Structure 1
Amino acid sequence: MLCLIPLVIGSSFAFSKLTDNETVYELKSYAEAGQIVQEAFSSLRTVISFNGAKFEQKRYDKELGPTSWGGIRQGALFGLSEARGAAALVFRLIDEGKDESINEEEVWEDNTEFICNINSDIEFHNFNFHYPSRKDAPVLRNLSVIAHAGQTTALVGSRGCGKSTCISLFLRYYEPSSGELTIDGKPITDYNVQHLRENIGVVSQEPVLLGMTVYENIRFGKSNATQDEIEEAAREANAHNFIMQLPDKYETLGGERGVQLSGGEKQCIALARALIVQEALDRACQGRTTIVIAHRLTTIRNANQIYVFDKGNLVE
């Protein structure tokens, strides 16, 4: 290991020498080009009267030409330094030991049974889970929850309490640390992953707006919504006041993915859209096993049962 120290010091010295030379050369070229500009502007009337603008421009371009190659050489040197640093992380990941408890190939093997009756009771039995990158921070602790077939089950709690993690585990994005997840009394590992996910619909909480007006974004989920209904939903979502301050109010274009609006404004409009489609969501849940994740109790008042989470524990 010690024999590599001279090589490291030597390469570092050579690298710094090259970058110093390139920087000095670049600054010298910029100084000479700047002098030409100063001369041309200080004698602007003379240059124009003799029609020398193109001549001065060629002089300026000639001085700047070498700097472009200097920038390319300097960029190549810095790129080689950054590439070496990135390669170290990649090689470290390649050399990292494999977790024998996780076999991704087995998860995707088609030797599991294609069970048609997915619309059944979903039950978490004494579930414990922590993310692989944070093994010292449990996300779910001894969780036991049941979502009955054909009913709406709500999971509520503060941010980071484990609500969304339950859905990720149900979709088998992760495997539990301990405990069991069953559908219709059968372990979820007995179900084919592709077939399981084909029979599950997930509506994300990410506020995504389309490249249309605020009015159309709120109305998107309910095409026959009236102006009064849309404004009422906006008021409930605390969005009406700032919408009325926009240049064209409800007819203001939000831009692609709502780029013209702030993050908070997008969230308020997305919430108004969710409120305007609440009736449609209630209709879609009929006859299906539904799990709803929410922060606001008013959005889940029609749920058949409500589980309250706190720091990965079921508290009520």
Structure 2
Amino acid sequence: MKIKRLIDRVPGGLMLVPLLLGACAHTFAPGAGTYFGSFTNGLITGTVPILAVWFFCMGATIDLRATGVVLRKSGTLVITKAVVAWLATLVATWFIPDEGIKTGLFVGLSVLAITASMDMTNGGLYAAVMQQYGSNEEAGAFVLMSIESGPLVSMLILGSTGVAVFEGRLFAGAVLPFLIGFVLGNLDKELRELFGRCVHPLIPFFGFALGCGIDLHVIAKSGLPGLLLGLAVVVVTGVPLIVVDRLIGGGNGTAGLAASSTAGAAVANPAIIGEMIPRFKPMVPAATALVATACLVTAILVPILTAMWARRFPNRPLEKASVAPLEVHH
């Protein structure tokens, strides 16, 4: 059976399919983890330890020995994405209650969901699209996008906008695995390759564990708000990314549009932040479902829009450069 091939046909499928299976398990057999106990319960309830290992391995994949062209392009995209997410979060605090929207068309929408969906680019999607419609240097610009992975940027945004206050020790605890992995990966190429191979296989495991905390009724309610959130991610982050790609990155805007997606890994951020800030915990299921929907929507729209843009505006040639081999999957 070609199960993997079938899952790959779904945008973000390696994350979203296990997440949906976990949600089915939680909805129809909510006591399964307690009933079976042991390792089965560990898989169902082990979101935090699984994510800790994944975050460590993700840090190890970042290789700073990239060329100036690649660093300029990736740095421009990463910084712009973070700044836009910060602004979107700040604006959202003016209109959305601290506990999120409880009724109406946008039920379930919260500042937490907006931040998590806006601040992380799907690096794997970006690289795949740019290999087809951009230059090798532009495709390699995903080397710094791993910095966005995990809760680090989301925590900085929520903290700096006054939405949440993170204790220093909790902040350090959240980023320490990533930093240790980063240091080891750059000290030893073989360690980078070893841990880098673990990034992709761990995604379905934390996807399933995340799903086990979601009721399918929450996903059903998040359908329209999630769709609108996905569209907002493409528009709100896409326009500034196109502009800076043209003005600073030396491109034609294609790379900026290709980066206007929500990473599959972003689905985990509400749960991680909810563990550190108890008042966010009630919002986690709805925020997770919203971010998952936004991930799916952007994974469908971004390649289509990027292809249209690339045909309309032919790419400018960039200076040639070599990029250290690296695979990043979000």
Specify the structure having the higher radius of gyration (Cα).
Answer: 1
Give yes or no for TM over 0.5: no
Between 1 and 2, higher relative CO (CA 8 Å, sep ≥ 6) is seen in 2
**Which range, TM-score by smaller chain?**
under 0.3
TM score, norm. by length of structure 2: 0.19
The answer to which structure has the higher helix fraction is: 2
